[in-house]
Amino acid sequence: MSTGNYNPKAARLYTDLGYFTAESDLTADADAVFQQLASLGRTKPLRALLQAPFTLHKQMLAHIAKVKAAAEAGLPARIVVKVNALTDVPLMQALVQAAQAGADVDLIVRGACMLPPGIPGVTDRIRVRSVVGRFLEHSRVAYFRFGVQDEDEALFLSSADWMSRNMFGRIEVAWPVRNAALRQRVIDECLVPYLHDRQD
């Protein structure tokens, strides 16, 4: 699975993340998505893969709500999202509510971002960065921390930006990175460097 298209032209311009797995629920879900696309039939309930326009938006909102609940309970609460665009109103509202509850929210948005950070009392716990480098930033990563235990975090890779057209007007997928070592590698290599970039 990939956060974007792999072809000779795009590979010279974009940076994406690829995920190779033999996890049976993910591979079965991927097969089900392709079966649906090929047959134009009804989708089967998926076990691990999140799919737009069916479950992706709802599950992202659910994970933001988990972080908000953790913040309200005084537990570690953190969201880091890396996307190309953030324009979906319900997702932005949920992020603001989580931040107002005490969660720290970092948004790495290459292009359009309609959520204004740093408004006192409203979005002062939200930070937004835009990183534009030699290659077009194209990977989508969503990280959620909602407690102190190892299992109180989730990280998803996705093909979808946080826009209504991606969540409801296209077939998009997101999948969990459940292996702790791989999850930490994505955090260390694909999130932390962007959070510490100070180049203007």
pLDDT for res 94: 98
Strand, helix or coil for residue 164: helix
Q: What pLDDT sits at residue 199? A: 66
- Residue 50: how many other CB atoms lie within 10 Å: 22
pTM tops 0.85, yes or no: yes
pLDDT at residue number 16: 86
Return per-residue pLDDT of the chain as tens, 200 residues.
989 877 888 777 888 889 999 999 999 999 999 888 888 667 778 999 999 999 999 999 999 999 999 999 999 999 999 999 999 999 999 999 999 999 999 999 988 999 999 999 999 999 999 887 776 778 999 999 999 998 999 999 999 999 999 999 999 999 999 999 999 999 999 899 889 877 65
Give the SS3 label for residue 175. Answer: strand
Rg (CA), the chain: 17
CA-closest candidate to residue 111, choices 141, 82, 78, 80: 82
Sheet with 126-129, strands from edge to edge, namely 50-52, 172-176, 153-158, 140-146, 77-83, 104-109, 126-129
| pLDDT for res 127 | 96
Other Cβ atoms less than 10 A from the Cβ of 150: the count is 8
Tell me how far CA of residue 122 lies from CA of 62, 190, 195, in angstroms.
Answer: 21, 28, 21
78 half-sphere exposure, CB direction, 13 A CA radius: 13
Distances (CA, A) of 135 to 6, 10, 15, 52, 132: 14, 10, 6, 27, 8
Q: Taking Cα atoms as reference points, which of 113, 107, 101 lies closest to residue 76?
A: 101
